[in-house]
Copies of this chain bind each other. A is one copy, B any other.
Protein backbone atom coordinates (compact mmCIF):
# COMPACT_ATOMS: atom_id res chain seq x y z
CA UNK A 1 0.00 0.00 0.00
CA UNK A 2 1.50 3.40 -0.91
CA UNK A 3 2.69 5.29 2.12
CA UNK A 4 0.50 8.34 1.59
CA UNK A 5 -2.66 6.19 1.52
CA UNK A 6 -1.54 4.35 4.62
CA UNK A 7 -0.99 7.65 6.41
CA UNK A 8 -4.41 8.85 5.37
CA UNK A 9 -6.01 5.68 6.63
CA UNK A 10 -4.14 5.76 9.86
CA UNK A 11 -5.15 9.32 10.51
CA UNK A 12 -8.79 8.77 9.76
CA UNK A 13 -9.12 5.44 11.53
CA UNK A 14 -7.13 6.71 14.51
CA UNK A 15 -9.51 9.62 14.74
CA UNK A 16 -12.40 7.20 14.81
CA UNK A 17 -10.82 4.85 17.28
CA UNK A 18 -11.21 5.13 21.00
CA UNK A 19 -8.15 5.94 23.07
CA UNK A 20 -7.86 2.46 24.46
CA UNK A 21 -7.63 0.98 20.98
CA UNK A 22 -4.31 2.71 20.51
CA UNK A 23 -2.90 2.39 23.98
CA UNK A 24 -0.08 -0.02 23.10
CA UNK A 25 3.28 1.31 21.95
CA UNK A 26 4.07 1.13 18.23
CA UNK A 27 7.79 1.76 18.46
CA UNK A 28 9.81 0.24 15.66
CA UNK A 29 6.97 -1.33 13.68
CA UNK A 30 6.44 -0.65 9.97
CA UNK A 31 10.12 0.07 9.49
CA UNK A 32 13.11 -2.23 8.86
CA UNK A 33 14.41 -4.21 11.80
CA UNK A 34 18.07 -3.62 12.71
CA UNK A 35 19.86 -6.82 13.70
CA UNK A 36 18.11 -10.16 14.08
CA UNK A 37 14.32 -10.37 14.00
CA UNK A 38 13.13 -11.19 17.51
CA UNK A 39 10.07 -13.43 17.30
CA UNK A 40 7.72 -14.64 19.99
CA UNK A 41 5.45 -17.64 19.45
CA UNK A 42 2.04 -17.60 21.11
CA UNK A 43 0.92 -21.18 21.46
CA UNK A 44 3.80 -23.61 21.36
CA UNK A 45 1.85 -26.78 20.67
CA UNK A 46 2.88 -29.09 17.87
CA UNK A 47 2.17 -26.45 15.21
CA UNK A 48 4.01 -23.74 17.12
CA UNK A 49 6.96 -26.08 17.64
CA UNK A 50 7.07 -26.69 13.91
CA UNK A 51 7.18 -22.97 13.24
CA UNK A 52 9.96 -22.58 15.79
CA UNK A 53 11.93 -25.38 14.15
CA UNK A 54 11.71 -23.59 10.79
CA UNK A 55 12.34 -20.14 12.27
CA UNK A 56 15.55 -21.42 13.84
CA UNK A 57 16.84 -22.45 10.40
CA UNK A 58 16.57 -18.85 9.20
CA UNK A 59 19.51 -16.48 9.50
CA UNK A 60 18.97 -13.28 11.47
CA UNK A 61 16.07 -14.69 13.51
CA UNK A 62 15.87 -15.23 17.24
CA UNK A 63 12.90 -16.85 18.93
CA UNK A 64 13.07 -15.05 22.23
CA UNK A 65 9.77 -15.85 23.93
CA UNK A 66 6.88 -18.26 23.93
CA UNK A 67 3.48 -18.16 25.60
CA UNK A 68 1.80 -21.42 26.51
CA UNK A 69 -0.13 -22.71 29.51
CA UNK A 70 0.55 -26.42 28.92
CA UNK A 71 3.71 -27.55 30.77
CA UNK A 72 4.09 -30.60 28.54
CA UNK A 73 4.12 -28.43 25.41
CA UNK A 74 6.58 -26.01 27.02
CA UNK A 75 8.83 -28.97 27.82
CA UNK A 76 8.67 -30.23 24.25
CA UNK A 77 9.34 -26.73 22.96
CA UNK A 78 12.47 -26.48 25.07
CA UNK A 79 13.64 -29.68 23.41
CA UNK A 80 13.27 -28.01 20.04
CA UNK A 81 15.60 -25.24 21.13
CA UNK A 82 18.03 -27.69 22.73
CA UNK A 83 18.16 -29.81 19.57
CA UNK A 84 18.90 -26.70 17.51
CA UNK A 85 21.59 -25.65 19.99
CA UNK A 86 19.82 -22.36 20.60
CA UNK A 87 19.08 -20.42 23.74
CA UNK A 88 15.78 -21.32 25.38
CA UNK A 89 13.11 -18.62 25.19
CA UNK A 90 11.44 -16.69 27.98
CA UNK A 91 8.24 -18.52 28.84
CA UNK A 92 4.98 -16.69 29.52
CA UNK A 93 2.87 -19.32 31.25
CA UNK A 94 1.04 -17.51 34.03
CA UNK A 95 -2.40 -18.32 32.68
CA UNK A 96 -4.14 -17.77 29.39
CA UNK A 97 -3.83 -13.96 29.52
CA UNK A 98 -0.09 -13.95 30.15
CA UNK A 99 0.58 -13.39 26.45
CA UNK A 100 -0.48 -9.78 27.09
CA UNK A 101 2.56 -9.33 29.31
CA UNK A 102 4.69 -10.76 26.49
CA UNK A 103 3.23 -8.20 24.07
CA UNK A 104 4.40 -5.30 26.25
CA UNK A 105 8.04 -6.30 25.72
CA UNK A 106 9.78 -3.78 23.46
CA UNK A 107 12.41 -6.44 22.69
CA UNK A 108 9.96 -8.44 20.59
CA UNK A 109 9.56 -7.42 16.95
CA UNK A 110 7.12 -10.02 15.69
CA UNK A 111 4.78 -12.69 16.95
CA UNK A 112 3.42 -15.88 15.47
CA UNK A 113 0.07 -17.07 16.79
CA UNK A 114 -0.48 -20.83 16.75
CA UNK A 115 -3.00 -21.25 19.55
CA UNK A 116 -6.43 -22.92 19.46
CA UNK A 117 -8.76 -21.20 17.02
CA UNK A 118 -10.74 -19.14 19.50
CA UNK A 119 -7.57 -17.31 20.52
CA UNK A 120 -6.42 -16.29 17.05
CA UNK A 121 -8.30 -13.05 16.62
CA UNK A 122 -8.13 -11.87 20.20
CA UNK A 123 -4.38 -12.40 20.24
CA UNK A 124 -3.85 -10.93 16.78
CA UNK A 125 -5.81 -7.81 17.69
CA UNK A 126 -3.76 -7.42 20.87
CA UNK A 127 -0.49 -8.02 19.02
CA UNK A 128 -1.32 -5.48 16.30
CA UNK A 129 -2.26 -2.93 18.93
CA UNK A 130 1.06 -3.64 20.64
CA UNK A 131 2.77 -2.83 17.35
CA UNK A 132 4.10 -6.34 16.76
CA UNK A 133 4.37 -7.65 13.23
CA UNK A 134 1.78 -10.42 13.50
CA UNK A 135 1.69 -13.84 11.90
CA UNK A 136 -1.58 -15.63 12.51
CA UNK A 137 -2.25 -19.31 11.88
CA UNK A 138 -5.22 -20.35 9.77
CA UNK A 139 -8.67 -21.50 10.91
CA UNK A 140 -12.19 -20.31 10.26
CA UNK A 141 -13.79 -17.37 12.02
CA UNK A 142 -16.59 -17.66 14.55
CA UNK A 143 -18.40 -14.60 13.23
CA UNK A 144 -18.16 -12.04 10.46
CA UNK A 145 -17.81 -9.36 13.14
CA UNK A 146 -14.61 -11.02 14.28
CA UNK A 147 -13.20 -10.57 10.77
CA UNK A 148 -14.05 -6.89 10.79
CA UNK A 149 -12.42 -6.55 14.22
CA UNK A 150 -9.21 -7.96 12.77
CA UNK A 151 -9.33 -5.55 9.83
CA UNK A 152 -9.94 -2.55 12.07
CA UNK A 153 -7.15 -3.53 14.45
CA UNK A 154 -4.66 -3.71 11.58
CA UNK A 155 -5.84 -0.46 10.02
CA UNK A 156 -5.54 1.29 13.34
CA UNK A 157 -2.03 -0.06 13.90
CA UNK A 158 1.18 0.87 12.16
CA UNK A 159 2.14 -2.72 11.53
CA UNK A 160 0.83 -5.70 9.62
CA UNK A 161 -0.93 -9.02 9.84
CA UNK A 162 0.44 -11.95 7.82
CA UNK A 163 -2.11 -14.74 7.52
CA UNK A 164 -0.04 -17.91 7.59
CA UNK A 165 -1.76 -20.01 4.91
CA UNK A 166 0.93 -22.52 4.06
CA UNK A 167 -0.81 -24.31 1.17
CA UNK A 168 -0.39 -21.16 -0.88
CA UNK A 169 3.29 -22.16 -0.88
CA UNK A 170 2.78 -25.79 -1.95
CA UNK A 171 5.03 -26.64 -4.86
CA UNK A 172 2.29 -27.71 -7.29
CA UNK A 173 0.03 -24.85 -6.19
CA UNK A 174 2.78 -22.31 -6.87
CA UNK A 175 3.61 -23.89 -10.23
CA UNK A 176 -0.05 -23.72 -11.22
CA UNK A 177 -0.14 -20.09 -10.09
CA UNK A 178 2.83 -19.43 -12.38
CA UNK A 179 1.07 -21.22 -15.22
CA UNK A 180 -2.08 -19.17 -14.67
CA UNK A 181 -0.16 -15.90 -14.54
CA UNK A 182 1.53 -16.81 -17.81
CA UNK A 183 -1.85 -17.48 -19.38
CA UNK A 184 -1.47 -21.23 -19.86
CA UNK A 185 -5.02 -21.89 -18.62
CA UNK A 186 -6.47 -18.98 -20.59
CA UNK A 187 -9.02 -16.95 -18.67
CA UNK A 188 -9.84 -18.70 -15.39
CA UNK A 189 -13.41 -19.92 -14.94
CA UNK A 190 -13.93 -22.60 -12.33
CA UNK A 191 -11.80 -23.53 -9.34
CA UNK A 192 -12.14 -26.14 -6.66
CA UNK A 193 -10.31 -26.93 -3.49
CA UNK A 194 -11.00 -27.93 0.03
CA UNK A 195 -10.01 -29.70 3.14
CA UNK A 196 -10.62 -33.37 2.55
CA UNK A 197 -8.74 -35.00 5.36
CA UNK A 198 -9.84 -37.88 7.57
CA UNK A 199 -9.35 -36.17 10.94
CA UNK A 200 -11.04 -38.78 13.06
CA UNK A 201 -7.75 -39.70 14.72
CA UNK A 202 -7.05 -35.98 15.24
CA UNK A 203 -10.44 -35.25 16.76
CA UNK A 204 -10.12 -38.20 19.13
CA UNK A 205 -7.23 -39.70 21.05
CA UNK A 206 -6.38 -41.48 24.29
CA UNK A 207 -5.26 -38.41 26.20
CA UNK A 208 -1.60 -39.33 25.81
CA UNK A 209 -0.72 -39.41 22.14
CA UNK A 210 -1.74 -36.61 19.78
CA UNK A 211 -3.37 -38.86 17.21
CA UNK A 212 -5.80 -41.71 17.82
CA UNK A 213 -5.60 -44.56 20.24
CA UNK A 214 -8.92 -43.65 21.83
CA UNK A 215 -12.14 -41.71 21.51
CA UNK A 216 -11.54 -38.93 24.02
CA UNK A 217 -11.90 -35.26 23.26
CA UNK A 218 -12.04 -32.15 25.43
CA UNK A 219 -10.41 -32.24 28.86
CA UNK A 220 -9.56 -35.94 28.75
CA UNK A 221 -7.74 -35.61 25.43
CA UNK A 222 -4.34 -34.37 24.30
CA UNK A 223 -3.33 -31.86 21.63
CA UNK A 224 -5.96 -30.69 19.12
CA UNK A 225 -8.65 -33.04 20.39
CA UNK A 226 -8.67 -30.99 23.59
CA UNK A 227 -10.36 -28.09 21.79
CA UNK A 228 -10.84 -28.65 18.07
CA UNK A 229 -13.45 -31.39 18.42
CA UNK A 230 -15.84 -29.13 20.31
CA UNK A 231 -16.32 -27.32 17.02
CA UNK A 232 -17.55 -30.56 15.46
CA UNK A 233 -19.96 -31.03 18.34
CA UNK A 234 -21.54 -27.62 18.09
CA UNK A 235 -21.03 -26.16 14.63
CA UNK A 236 -22.06 -27.04 11.09
CA UNK A 237 -20.32 -25.38 8.18
CA UNK A 238 -16.94 -25.20 6.48
CA UNK A 239 -14.88 -24.99 9.66
CA UNK A 240 -11.50 -24.96 7.96
CA UNK A 241 -11.73 -23.30 4.57
CA UNK A 242 -8.39 -21.65 3.96
CA UNK A 243 -6.20 -24.48 2.66
CA UNK A 244 -8.51 -24.87 -0.31
CA UNK A 245 -9.57 -21.27 -0.62
CA UNK A 246 -6.23 -19.51 -0.25
CA UNK A 247 -4.68 -20.87 -3.44
CA UNK A 248 -7.93 -20.23 -5.32
CA UNK A 249 -8.06 -16.66 -4.02
CA UNK A 250 -4.51 -16.03 -5.17
CA UNK A 251 -5.28 -17.44 -8.60
CA UNK A 252 -8.38 -15.24 -8.91
CA UNK A 253 -6.75 -12.09 -7.50
CA UNK A 254 -9.34 -11.83 -4.76
CA UNK A 255 -9.07 -8.45 -2.99
CA UNK A 256 -6.81 -7.40 -5.88
CA UNK A 257 -9.08 -6.55 -8.78
CA UNK A 258 -11.66 -9.14 -7.86
CA UNK A 259 -13.72 -10.13 -4.86
CA UNK A 260 -16.13 -12.77 -3.63
CA UNK A 261 -19.74 -11.64 -3.89
CA UNK A 262 -21.83 -14.61 -2.76
CA UNK A 263 -21.58 -17.96 -1.04
CA UNK A 264 -23.96 -20.79 -0.43
CA UNK A 265 -23.26 -24.01 1.43
CA UNK A 266 -24.92 -27.34 2.01
CA UNK A 267 -23.95 -29.98 4.58
CA UNK A 268 -24.65 -33.68 4.57
CA UNK A 269 -25.94 -35.40 7.66
CA UNK A 270 -23.46 -35.94 10.50
CA UNK A 271 -22.62 -39.61 10.90
CA UNK A 272 -18.87 -40.15 10.87
CA UNK A 273 -17.81 -39.02 14.33
CA UNK A 274 -20.57 -40.84 16.17
CA UNK A 275 -19.84 -43.96 14.12
CA UNK A 276 -16.15 -43.67 14.99
CA UNK A 277 -16.88 -43.54 18.71
CA UNK A 278 -19.29 -46.48 18.43
CA UNK A 279 -16.90 -48.56 16.33
CA UNK A 280 -13.88 -47.86 18.54
CA UNK A 281 -15.42 -47.85 22.01
CA UNK A 282 -18.97 -49.13 21.80
CA UNK A 283 -22.28 -47.67 22.96
CA UNK A 284 -21.35 -47.52 26.62
CA UNK A 285 -18.62 -44.93 26.20
CA UNK A 286 -19.87 -41.50 27.34
CA UNK A 287 -18.95 -39.96 23.97
CA UNK A 288 -21.32 -42.37 22.22
CA UNK A 289 -24.06 -40.10 23.50
CA UNK A 290 -22.63 -36.92 21.99
CA UNK A 291 -24.58 -35.43 19.12
CA UNK A 292 -22.02 -34.12 16.64
CA UNK A 293 -23.56 -31.34 14.56
CA UNK A 294 -20.87 -31.00 11.89
CA UNK A 295 -22.10 -32.46 8.60
CA UNK A 296 -19.65 -35.01 7.30
CA UNK A 297 -19.19 -33.28 3.96
CA UNK A 298 -19.86 -29.56 3.62
CA UNK A 299 -19.84 -28.06 0.13
CA UNK A 300 -19.76 -24.34 -0.64
CA UNK A 301 -19.99 -22.42 -3.88
CA UNK A 302 -18.55 -18.92 -4.07
CA UNK A 303 -19.16 -16.48 -6.88
CA UNK A 304 -16.80 -13.65 -7.77
CA UNK A 305 -17.21 -10.19 -9.16
CA UNK A 306 -15.27 -11.22 -12.27
CA UNK A 307 -17.47 -14.19 -13.04
CA UNK A 308 -15.56 -17.18 -11.72
CA UNK A 309 -16.98 -19.80 -9.38
CA UNK A 310 -15.09 -21.58 -6.60
CA UNK A 311 -16.32 -24.86 -5.11
CA UNK A 312 -15.01 -25.68 -1.64
CA UNK A 313 -15.18 -28.99 0.20
CA UNK A 314 -14.86 -29.67 3.91
CA UNK A 315 -14.70 -33.39 4.55
CA UNK A 316 -13.03 -34.47 7.79
CA UNK A 317 -15.20 -37.15 9.43
CA UNK A 318 -15.00 -40.05 7.00
CA UNK A 319 -12.50 -42.67 5.91
CA UNK A 320 -10.88 -41.21 2.79
CA UNK A 321 -7.44 -40.51 1.37
CA UNK A 322 -6.10 -37.02 1.99
CA UNK A 323 -6.74 -34.63 -0.89
CA UNK A 324 -7.20 -30.92 -1.08
CA UNK A 325 -9.08 -31.61 -4.32
CA UNK A 326 -7.72 -28.74 -6.37
CA UNK A 327 -9.14 -28.03 -9.79
CA UNK A 328 -8.11 -25.02 -11.82
CA UNK A 329 -9.98 -24.59 -15.07
CA UNK A 330 -9.83 -21.86 -17.65
CA UNK A 331 -10.75 -21.27 -21.25
CA UNK A 332 -7.56 -23.01 -22.34
CA UNK A 333 -7.07 -25.90 -19.99
CA UNK A 334 -7.55 -27.64 -16.68
CA UNK A 335 -5.50 -29.06 -13.82
CA UNK A 336 -6.84 -31.47 -11.24
CA UNK A 337 -4.78 -32.80 -8.37
CA UNK A 338 -6.89 -35.82 -7.53
CA UNK A 339 -5.74 -37.50 -10.74
CA UNK A 340 -2.57 -35.40 -10.91
CA UNK A 341 -3.36 -34.51 -14.51
CA UNK A 342 -3.47 -31.56 -16.85
CA UNK A 343 -5.03 -30.83 -20.19
CA UNK A 344 -3.92 -27.77 -22.15
CA UNK A 345 -5.57 -26.97 -25.49
CA UNK A 346 -3.21 -27.18 -28.42
CA UNK A 347 -0.54 -28.85 -26.30
CA UNK A 348 -2.09 -31.96 -24.80
CA UNK A 349 -3.55 -34.69 -27.04
CA UNK A 350 -7.16 -33.71 -27.79
CA UNK A 351 -9.70 -34.77 -25.17
CA UNK A 352 -6.97 -36.46 -23.12
CA UNK A 353 -5.25 -35.95 -19.79
CA UNK A 354 -1.49 -35.68 -19.48
CA UNK A 355 0.45 -36.40 -16.28
CA UNK A 356 0.78 -33.09 -14.49
CA UNK A 357 4.42 -33.61 -13.53
CA UNK A 358 5.95 -32.33 -16.78
CA UNK A 359 3.95 -29.12 -16.63
CA UNK A 360 4.55 -28.58 -12.94
CA UNK A 361 8.29 -28.97 -13.44
CA UNK A 362 8.36 -26.62 -16.43
CA UNK A 363 6.53 -23.93 -14.45
CA UNK A 364 8.19 -24.61 -11.09
CA UNK A 365 8.01 -21.38 -9.12
CA UNK A 366 11.27 -19.43 -8.69
CA UNK A 367 11.07 -19.87 -4.90
CA UNK A 368 11.03 -23.63 -5.27
CA UNK A 369 13.52 -23.68 -8.11
CA UNK A 370 15.99 -21.80 -5.93
CA UNK A 371 15.48 -23.50 -2.58
CA UNK A 372 13.32 -26.58 -3.09
CA UNK A 373 15.88 -28.93 -1.60
CA UNK A 374 16.38 -26.78 1.48
CA UNK A 375 12.63 -26.58 1.91
CA UNK A 376 11.83 -30.29 1.66
CA UNK A 377 13.10 -30.97 5.18
CA UNK A 378 11.15 -28.20 6.87
CA UNK A 379 7.74 -29.80 7.35
CA UNK A 380 4.47 -30.09 5.47
CA UNK A 381 6.37 -30.97 2.30
CA UNK A 382 8.38 -27.77 2.23
CA UNK A 383 5.48 -25.33 2.27
CA UNK A 384 6.28 -24.17 5.78
CA UNK A 385 9.82 -23.26 4.82
CA UNK A 386 8.67 -20.74 2.23
CA UNK A 387 5.88 -19.50 4.44
CA UNK A 388 8.21 -18.76 7.33
CA UNK A 389 10.92 -17.38 5.08
CA UNK A 390 8.39 -14.99 3.58
CA UNK A 391 7.21 -14.02 7.04
CA UNK A 392 10.72 -13.25 8.17
CA UNK A 393 11.41 -11.31 4.96
CA UNK A 394 8.44 -8.95 5.30
CA UNK A 395 8.62 -8.66 9.09
CA UNK A 396 12.30 -7.70 8.92
CA UNK A 397 11.59 -5.15 6.22
CA UNK A 398 8.49 -3.85 7.98
CA UNK A 399 6.51 -4.08 4.75
CA UNK A 400 3.07 -5.35 3.85
CA UNK A 401 2.80 -9.15 3.75
CA UNK A 402 1.81 -11.18 0.67
CA UNK A 403 -1.26 -12.53 2.50
CA UNK A 404 -2.66 -9.70 4.53
CA UNK A 405 -5.46 -8.83 6.91
CA UNK A 406 -8.01 -8.41 4.10
CA UNK A 407 -7.18 -11.89 2.83
CA UNK A 408 -7.39 -13.21 6.38
CA UNK A 409 -10.78 -11.62 6.97
CA UNK A 410 -12.11 -12.80 3.60
CA UNK A 411 -10.95 -16.37 3.87
CA UNK A 412 -11.91 -16.68 7.55
CA UNK A 413 -15.38 -15.30 6.87
CA UNK A 414 -16.25 -18.35 4.80
CA UNK A 415 -16.83 -20.26 8.02
CA UNK A 416 -19.59 -18.15 9.62
CA UNK A 417 -21.13 -17.43 6.21
CA UNK A 418 -21.24 -21.14 5.44
CA UNK A 419 -22.69 -21.89 8.87
CA UNK A 420 -25.47 -19.39 8.24
CA UNK A 421 -26.12 -20.83 4.79
CA UNK A 422 -26.17 -24.42 6.03
CA UNK A 423 -28.45 -23.49 8.91
CA UNK A 424 -30.95 -22.10 6.44
CA UNK A 425 -30.83 -25.01 3.99
CA UNK A 426 -28.34 -23.52 1.55
CA UNK A 427 -29.50 -19.93 1.23
CA UNK A 428 -27.24 -17.48 -0.57
CA UNK A 429 -25.16 -15.20 1.67
CA UNK A 430 -23.77 -11.88 0.52
CA UNK A 431 -19.99 -11.75 0.91
CA UNK A 432 -18.65 -8.72 2.79
CA UNK A 433 -16.05 -6.52 1.12
CA UNK A 434 -13.51 -6.21 3.89
CA UNK A 435 -11.36 -3.88 1.77
CA UNK A 436 -14.21 -1.37 1.52
CA UNK A 437 -13.65 -0.92 -2.19
CA UNK A 438 -9.89 -0.92 -2.16
CA UNK A 439 -9.89 -4.33 -3.92
CA UNK A 440 -10.33 -2.43 -7.15
CA UNK A 441 -6.78 -1.12 -7.17
CA UNK A 442 -4.71 -3.31 -4.90
CA UNK A 443 -1.95 -5.11 -6.85
CA UNK A 444 -1.79 -8.90 -7.12
CA UNK A 445 1.67 -9.56 -5.77
CA UNK A 446 1.65 -12.89 -3.97
CA UNK A 447 5.00 -14.64 -4.42
CA UNK A 448 6.40 -12.02 -6.76
CA UNK A 449 9.14 -10.85 -4.40
CA UNK A 450 12.82 -11.10 -5.26
CA UNK A 451 14.57 -12.99 -2.51
- Report A's interface with B, CB cutoff 8 A: 186-187, 189-190, 198, 261-262, 264, 266-269, 271-272, 275, 295-297, 299, 301, 303, 306-309, 311, 315, 318-322, 329-334, 336, 338-339, 341, 343-345, 351-353, 424-428
Among A297, A308, A341, A426, the one with the most B-chain Cβ atoms within 10 Å of its Cβ is A426
Contacts of A272 in B (CB 8 A): 331
| CB–CB A321/B271 < 8 A | no
Interface contacts beyond A189-B318, A319-B333, A425-B428: sample of 6 additional A-B pairs, CB < 8 Å, sorted by A:
A187-B271, A266-B309, A275-B331, A301-B301, A303-B426, A321-B351
| CB–CB A351/B198 < 8 A | yes
Q: Could you jot down 7 A-B contacts, CB within 8 Å?
A: A190-B297, A261-B425, A262-B425, A264-B266, A295-B307, A319-B332, A320-B343
CA distance A272 to B266 in the complex (A): 29
- Shortest distance between the CB of A308 and any CB in chain B (Å): 6
| CB–CB A329/B266 < 8 A | no
CA distance A370 to B336 in the complex (A): 36
| CB–CB A343/B321 < 8 A | yes
- A345 in contact with B329 given A269-B306, A296-B189, A303-B426 (CB within 8 Å): no
Contacts of A295 in B (CB 8 A): 307
- Shortest distance between the CB of A255 and any CB in chain B (Å): 19
Contacts of A336 in B (CB 8 A): 338
Contacts of A297 in B (CB 8 A): 189-190, 309, 329
Quick one: closest B residue to A322, CB to CB? B351
| CB–CB A264/B296 < 8 A | no
Contacts of A311 in B (CB 8 A): 299, 311
CA distance A308 to B344 in the complex (A): 34
| CB–CB B319/A345 < 8 A | yes
| CB–CB B264/A301 < 8 A | yes
B190, B321, B424: the one within 8 Å of A296 (CB):
B190
- A319 in contact with B343 given A268-B309, A271-B331, A309-B267 (CB within 8 Å): yes
- Shortest distance between the CB of A294 and any CB in chain B (Å): 12
- Shortest distance between the CB of A269 and any CB in chain B (Å): 3
Contacts of A338 in B (CB 8 A): 336, 338-339
CA distance A344 to B295 in the complex (A): 20
| CB–CB B329/A318 < 8 A | yes
| CB–CB B321/A352 < 8 A | yes
Contacts of A187 in B (CB 8 A): 269, 271
| CB–CB A353/B321 < 8 A | yes
Contacts of A189 in B (CB 8 A): 268-269, 271, 296-297, 318
- Shortest distance between the CB of A349 and any CB in chain B (Å): 9
CA distance A156 to B274 in the complex (A): 47
CA distance A308 to B428 in the complex (A): 19
The 10 A-B pairs with the shortest beta carbon distances in the complex, nearest first, are A269-B307, A319-B345, A190-B297, A339-B339, A189-B268, A266-B309, A266-B301, A426-B428, A271-B331, A264-B264
- A268 in contact with B308 given A198-B351, A320-B343, A343-B321 (CB within 8 Å): yes
CA distance A311 to B262 in the complex (A): 18
CA distance A5 to B190 in the complex (A): 47
- Shortest distance between the CB of A319 and any CB in chain B (Å): 4
Quick one: closest B residue to A261, CB to CB? B425
Contacts of A264 in B (CB 8 A): 264, 266, 301, 426, 428
